[in-house]
Amino acid sequence: MTITNIHKDTKFDIHPLLKERWSPRTFSNIPVSETEIRSLLEAGRWAPSCNNFQPWRIIWGIKGSDTYERILNVLVEFNQSWAKNAPVLMLGAFKKTNPNGEENFHALHDLGAFSAMLTVQAQHLGIAVHQMAGLKFKDALTEFNFTEDYHVATALALGYYGGEKSDLPENLQKIESPKSERKLQREFAFNGNFSETEGVQRKKQPLN
């Protein structure tokens, strides 16, 4: 399914859902239904996790609801300025310990896997996802009654692709673009020893 007109300069063939995905700050005013939200959460539900602990915890709200406003209020001011137009807002938290009470070092990774699965399902439905690190996580813990055993790590703004740049504050209108750069594979993937120097690998020159 073609969702956007984005054509990334990929060096190898990847699925169109991945190639066309981007993180806009504008959204269509088409509502996102609870059924669609449940579809996204179901995709995340089947994400892999260490020992199947599934440490993710998600708070979600549809625009116009009390929960939506509470999520919006724990975002930093910069993100509030544009996320207030998104039809759906979410918070992503994780449980910091495993069932034995020991630190779960992989919980943040698992929340990331959840978010990635949700994002691919959203792209399939034509829904854009913009993930945010800018939130007041301590305020979020209190606002949503989390205990100290949890950390609220991220926020997500969701909505159908669309909207106008004029919906954004002037400073964001200038930077809103689907174009983005990515490191080449040789800068982060090593067929051999890791190198501190980006782009240098010691055993074999990679393809990219």
Which CATH number is 24-164 given? 3.40.109.10
Q: What is the pLDDT of residue 202?
A: 44
Q: What is the pLDDT of residue 165?
A: 87
CA-CA-CA-CA dihedral for 27, 32, 37, 43, to nearest 10: -60
Q: What is the pLDDT of residue 170?
A: 83
In tens, the pLDDT along 151-178 reads 999 999 999 999 888 888 888 888 878 7
Q: What is the pLDDT of residue 82?
A: 95
In terms of Cβ atoms closer than 10 Å to its own Cβ (0-12, 13-18, 19+), residue 203 is exposed
Alpha carbon separation from 203 to 58, 154, 193, 208 (Å, rounded): 43, 38, 8, 14
The rounded percent of the chain whose pLDDT value lies above 90 is 74
Name the token pair of 95: 């449980």
Polymer length in residues for the chain: 208
CB-based contacts of 168, cutoff 8 Å, min separation 6: 25, 26, 81, 82, 176
Q: What is the pLDDT of residue 76?
A: 98
Domain-by-domain residue ranges, the chain?
Answer: 24-164
Low-confidence ranges of the chain (pLDDT < 70): 1-7, 198-208
The pTM score is 0.89
- Helix residue ranges, H only, the chain: 16-19, 34-45, 66-73, 77-83, 107-125, 137-143, 170-173
Q: What is the pLDDT of residue 205?
A: 53
Q: How many C-beta atoms lie closer than 10 Å to residue 84's C-beta?
A: 15
Task: Give ∠ CA 41-93-150 in degrees, rounded to 5.
Answer: 140
Radius of gyration of the chain (CA): 19
